[in-house]
Amino acid sequence: MTNSTVSYFILGAYLSVGNVRYFFFVVAVLLYVLIFLFNVLLIVVICVNRSLHEPMYLFLCSLFVNELYGSTGLFPFLLLHILRDVHTVSVSMCFLQIFCLYTYAHVEFCNLALMSYDRYLAICHPLQYHTRMTPNKAFLFIILVWFYSFVKFIITLSLNVRLTLCRNVIDSVYCHNYLVAKLACSGNGVNNIYGLFGVVLTTLVPLVLILFSYAKILRACAGGCRLSRHKAVGTCTPHLVSLLNFFFGCCFEILQSRFDMSWVPGGLRIVSSLYFLVIQPLLNPLVYGLQMSNIRDSCKHLLCPKASTPPTHAM
């Protein structure tokens, strides 16, 4: 527990919307159901189709599992508070949500970085791809990403629960680690140093890997034939859409939590803070399910086996 008398937090960003709350509740339920169904469908498709047991699809499976994990950390909590008049949450539940949402964001970013590196190997080193990126290596990378993310944020929360808090109002619709730290009575050197170190590892390392991978891909495309460029664009488009959407969504949330955004209407602030937690889990299965022919054909075969032919695998 924290070294203070704070036993609960108040989420101060919820707006008083009267009976319109039921409309928002229905919309949130529909979004959660769609996210759950789309991601579960693609996880099942990848698991049951042995032709999709390749590194690229294993990374996608990890991505879809993470979407379910992050959505479950947000939506039940959000649905409960949409219907409530008093928006309080216990300290333990608040830190649990912080852990879920922050590990979700870190796993997402690292997974997208691994996928960019996988595309670099497939496009720039096609002959060595199956030796340099095997399913076993992909599975090991996925385990390391999840393990590191969980360990890192366990340490982060163990430091934050020791803070002495003088206030208990969080200006958000969900628990936010940075906003909780701002409630501390005084600064904490250890937390600040570890936070800076964590930011570097969490953002800089995956970002360098992404920039390196796409710099190599662009260079290969510039010197390749038209067919090679077309294939590379088709392969990388879903990943770029997902990456840019997640990046800009995170930027909206970082700007809102760290700077005075009181001039922005309250409803718009809420939407921007929820963007990367709602749109990303909904967008990924749609983008990859529609764009990648192997997944699209496998979905058709799974849902309508009599009306479709078994999908063939092509890298």
Could you tell me where the beta strands, DSSP code E, fall in the chain?
8-11, 88-90, 169-170
* Sign of the Cα pseudo-torsion (269, 278, 247, 221, in order): negative
Q: By C-alpha distance, which of 302, 241, 242, 292 is closest to 54?
A: 292
pTM of the predicted structure, to 2 decimals: 0.88
Q: What is the pLDDT of residue 220?
A: 82
Q: What is the pLDDT of residue 308?
A: 54
Domain boundaries, the chain: 8-303
**Count of other CB atoms within 10 angstroms of residue 127:** 7
The answer for 108, left when phi > 0, alpha when psi is -120 to 50, beta otherwise, is alpha
Q: What is the pLDDT of residue 116?
A: 93
Q: What is the pLDDT of residue 1?
A: 45
pLDDT in tens, the chain (315 residues): 445 567 889 998 887 777 888 999 999 999 999 999 999 999 998 998 888 889 999 999 999 999 999 999 999 999 999 988 888 999 899 999 999 999 999 999 999 999 999 999 998 888 899 999 999 999 999 999 999 999 988 988 888 888 788 888 988 889 988 888 888 876 566 666 766 677 777 788 888 999 999 998 888 887 767 766 777 777 788 888 899 999 888 888 877 777 777 777 777 888 888 898 999 999 999 888 777 777 777 777 777 776 555 555 444
5 CB-near residues (< 8 Å, 6+ apart):
none
Q: What is the pLDDT of residue 109?
A: 93
CATH homologous superfamily for the domain 8-303: Rhodopsin 7-helix transmembrane proteins (1.20.1070.10)
